[in-house]
């Protein structure tokens, strides 16, 4: 650990005594000022903490990057001595007082120590250890919430995702290549009175041969020529190799029915749809997979983003070398998103790669669980059972029609099925499917509906069923239709 256990206990006592907790900080600042503070605007937060009581001093130190007097800091961190806090690195001496040496976030009922980010006066070097950052926060919003026995966090860093897993897993194991990151993680586990198994090594290497119920990872997913400049973001694998490696490790890491979720970048290569590239990572894996693309950047924007992240946005030589590599690999863009995997217990696996960039912000954790449940249901249904099932259009699904007025009346040009209650998907459908969905009230078996349509259109019933079944299956999986058996 970065501090001995006695000093960790003293720090916890100080934080509790000063009410430096997520609820306490919000109550002190108000939601608007707290949100502004997290974006780097500290004006309202500083105004609300001008009296410099214990809580105020801690907020000014660790949330606003201020220098505070030694007397106010000593009172704020007591019973942890200031000298001890300086010696271990938690605090640092400045000309006119004391500053934070590490970041200390009060977040979602827990505390998280990490290196200071650049916007709080820290320096990003090769061994920088992230705390509550955008990527881990993003993945946390996708994590499936269910009780499990065993959980694994690959590339834990300071442990933000391990903290999330601790709320639902009996045991938590975490790995990281960086021994320094693991020291932060060990300190955070102790600070929050949690017991984690922490293992040093590259990705899944430390847990070879073991299986888990839930696996998560915010890996060093940056795509490029295979740099190793920054441990938190660079894997040393060229291209999107680290993400492909994690995907291919999933079947050997999971118990049957177990899930794995990780953030990923993937290359959009000239002449190859990104969906084919990413789906290829799961060939014969035996896993159900839903890959959600949430953003796409062109190579120049992508490189600039990550150069700014490391404070190197004015390095034209590095920028040119990175872009040259993309050009040689015929990379047109880089996609970003979340890979959701579940090891099937039996039956055929389903792999779907979907672009959801334009969809609204929703509770993805619930939608992902629902998606896997639907895939399970469809896998368990025979064709005859599906034909005997009664289908109903889900609440919030609407049909939009675009028509042009002609001499003979309205001529319908397009018919769009939209899911207004879920991900906002919009799909163009043909008149036959419109007629079919119009009868999906949950009262009539699908077989009967197809028979009535066949009579109305004077079409062979078997041919109509063969055409409708795969389309209907897709609508069920994507949440447009419910099945009643």
Final residue belonging to a domain, choices 75, 100, 125: 100
pLDDT of residue 362: 75
Q: What is the 3-state secondary structure (H, E, C) of 243-308?
A: HHHHHHHHHHHEEEEEEEEEEEEEEEECCCCHHHHHHHHHCCCCEEEEEEEEEEECHHHHHHHHHH
Q: What is the CATH number of the domain that holds 261?
A: 3.40.50.150
Number of residues that this document lists for the chain: 485
CB 330 within 8 A of CB 243: no
Q: Are 281 and 244 in contact (CB under 8 A)?
A: yes
The pTM of this model reads 0.93
Q: Which of 127-141, 241-255, 467-481 shows the lowest mean pLDDT across its residues? A: 127-141
| Residue 199: inside a domain | yes
pLDDT digits (tens, 9 = 90+) for 142-151: 999 999 999 9
238 and 364 within one domain: yes
The domain in which residue 415 lies consists of 383-484
For residue 442, being part of any structural domain is answered with yes
> What pLDDT, in 10s, does the model give residues 360-392?
667 888 999 999 999 999 998 999 999 999 999
pLDDT digits (tens, 9 = 90+) for 399-413: 999 988 888 888 888
**CA–CA distance, 7 with 2 (Å, rounded to integer):** 10
Domain match, 61 and 175 both:
no
Both 83 and 52 in one domain: the answer is yes
* Residue at token pair 């934080």: 15
Q: Choose one of 348, 378, 408: the last residue of a domain.
A: 378
Note whether residue 84 is domain-resident: yes
Whether 110 maps to a domain, the answer reads: no
Say if residue 400 is in the same domain as residue 463: yes
Same domain for 266 and 392, yes or no, is no
Number of domains in the chain: 3
Please tell me whether residues 264 and 214 are part of one structural domain. yes
Q: Specify if 111 maps to a domain.
A: no
Other CB atoms within 10 Å distance of the CB of residue 465: 19
Per-residue confidence (pLDDT) for residue 179, from 0 to 100: 96
Is 429 a domain residue?
Answer: yes
Which CATH number characterizes residue 428's domain? 3.90.930
Q: How many CB atoms lie within 10 A of CB 82?
A: 19
Query: Cα separations (Å) of 300 from 304, 325, 332, 385?
Result: 6, 12, 10, 52
Over residues 434-462, mean pLDDT: 92
Same domain assignment for residues 352 and 404: no
213 with 269, same domain: the answer is yes
Tell whether 73 and 23 lie within a shared domain: yes
Domain end: 344, 378, 412, which one?
378
Q: What is the mean pLDDT of residues 187-210?
A: 97
pLDDT bracket for residue 313 (50, 70, 90): low
DSSP 68: B
- The answer to the question of residue 105 being in a domain is no
Question: Is 187 or 228 the better-scoring residue by pLDDT?
Answer: 187
Lowest mean pLDDT among 198-202, 457-461, 472-476: 457-461
Answer whether residue 120 is part of any domain.
Answer: no
Q: What's the mean pLDDT in 71-99?
A: 96
Is the predicted pLDDT of residue 311 greater than 70, yes or no? no
Nearest CA to 117 among 165, 65, 69, 168? 65
């Amino acid at each position: 650990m970065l501090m001995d256990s006695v000093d960790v206990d003293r720090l916890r006592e100080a934080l509790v005594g000063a009410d430096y907790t997520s609820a306490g900080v919000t109550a002190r600042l108000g939601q608007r000022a707290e949100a502004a503070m997290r974006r780097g605007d500290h004006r309202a937060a500083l105004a609300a903490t001008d009296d410099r009581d214990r809580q105020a001093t801690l907020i000014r130190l660790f949330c606003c990057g201020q220098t505070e007097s030694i007397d106010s800091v000593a009172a704020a961190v007591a019973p942890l001595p200031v000298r001890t806090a300086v010696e271990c690195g938690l605090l640092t001496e400045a000309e006119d007082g004391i500053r934070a040496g590490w970041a200390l976030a009060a977040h979602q009922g827990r505390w998280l120590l990490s290196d200071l980010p650049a916007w709080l006066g820290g320096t990003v070097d090769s061994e920088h250890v992230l705390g509550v950052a955008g990527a881990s926060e993003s993945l946390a919003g996708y994590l499936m919430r269910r009780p499990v026995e065993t959980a694994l966090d690959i590339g834990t860093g300071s442990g933000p995702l391990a903290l999330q897993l601790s709320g639902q897993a009996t045991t938590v194991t975490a790995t990281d290549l960086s021994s320094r990151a693991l020291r932060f993680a060990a300190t955070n586990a102790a600070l929050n009175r949690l017991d984690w198994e922490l293992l040093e090594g590259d990705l899944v290497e430390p847990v070879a041969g073991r299986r888990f119920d839930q696996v998560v990872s915010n890996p060093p997913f940056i795509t490029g020529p295979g740099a190793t400049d920054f441990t938190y973001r660079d894997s040393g694998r060229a291209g999107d190799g680290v993400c492909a490696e994690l995907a291919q490790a999933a079947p050997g890491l999971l118990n049957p029915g177990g899930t794995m979720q990780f953030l990923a970048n993937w290359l959009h290569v000239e002449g190859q749809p990104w969906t084919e590239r990413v789906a290829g990572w799961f060939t014969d894996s035996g896993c159900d997979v839903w890959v959600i693309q949430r953003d796409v950047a062109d190579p120049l924007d992508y490189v600039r983003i990550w150069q700014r992240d490391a404070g190197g946005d004015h390095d034209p030589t590095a920028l040119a070398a990175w872009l040259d590599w993309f050009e040689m690999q015929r990379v047109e863009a880089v996609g970003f998103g979340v890979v959701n995997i579940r090891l099937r217990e039996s039956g055929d696996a389903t792999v779907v790669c979907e672009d959801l960039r334009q969809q609204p912000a929703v509770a993805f954790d619930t939608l992902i669980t629902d998606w896997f449940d639907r895939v399970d249901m469809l896998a368990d249904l025979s064709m005859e059972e599906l034909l005997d099932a009664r289908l109903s259009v889900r609440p919030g699904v609407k049909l939009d029609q675009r028509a042009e007025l002609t001499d003979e009346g309205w001529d319908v040009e397009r018919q769009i099925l939209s899911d207004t209650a879920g991900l906002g998907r919009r799909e163009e459908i043909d008149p036959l499917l419109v007629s079919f969905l119009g009868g999906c009230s949950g009262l009539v078996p699908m077989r009967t509906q197809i028979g009535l349509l066949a009579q109305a259109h004077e079409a062979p019933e078997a041919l109509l069923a063969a055409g409708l079944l795969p389309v209907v299956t897709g609508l069920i999986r994507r949440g447009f239709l419910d099945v009643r058996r």
